[in-house]
Structure 1
Amino acid sequence: MMIALVGLCLLVQLTGCSNTRTVYVPVPQQQIPASLTAETPQPFIPDPLTYGASLDLNVSLLAALGMCNRDKADIRKVEDARLSGSESGSE
């Protein structure tokens, strides 16, 4: 008799949860900052190009390449955040 009463109490508690409602809220699109899509400045190439100046040019080119790679990584983070935000809203 006692087991039946406990079972009925649990059944009543389970039916109380059936009235939940799922509401999806639209998430605004995150814009990619203009600083990430801005053109990377090109280093000046001296004329005539001497050996010492070519070493300085290599340093400048590697710095520009590093800036481009950093911008691409930041854009990937923005895109991943956008995709994960839209996936959680569509479930």
Structure 2
Amino acid sequence: MNLLGTWLTDRMDLQLHLYQLKILIRVVKKKYRDFRLQGVLDSTLNSKMYETVRNRLTLEEATASVREGGMQGISMRDSDEDDDN
């Protein structure tokens, strides 16, 4: 997550391509779910870097939805709803 956060920070002034955004959302959601299933504590999972990455991807997703007209079923919001179940 730190590597991803650093990569996104280095590209703060650049928008992500739609393909990059979709892949990063899938990677972050899968990483979060897998570690949660393995019993990693929420306090560890919800680190400052995770929140930074999540916020950036959510912002990029909103921008892409307006610009491209939709994300075809891929969303950061899905991970929030799935985790509550």
With structure 1 as the length reference, what TM-score do the two structures score? 0.29
More helix by share: 2
TM-score (norm 2): 0.31
Larger Rg: 1
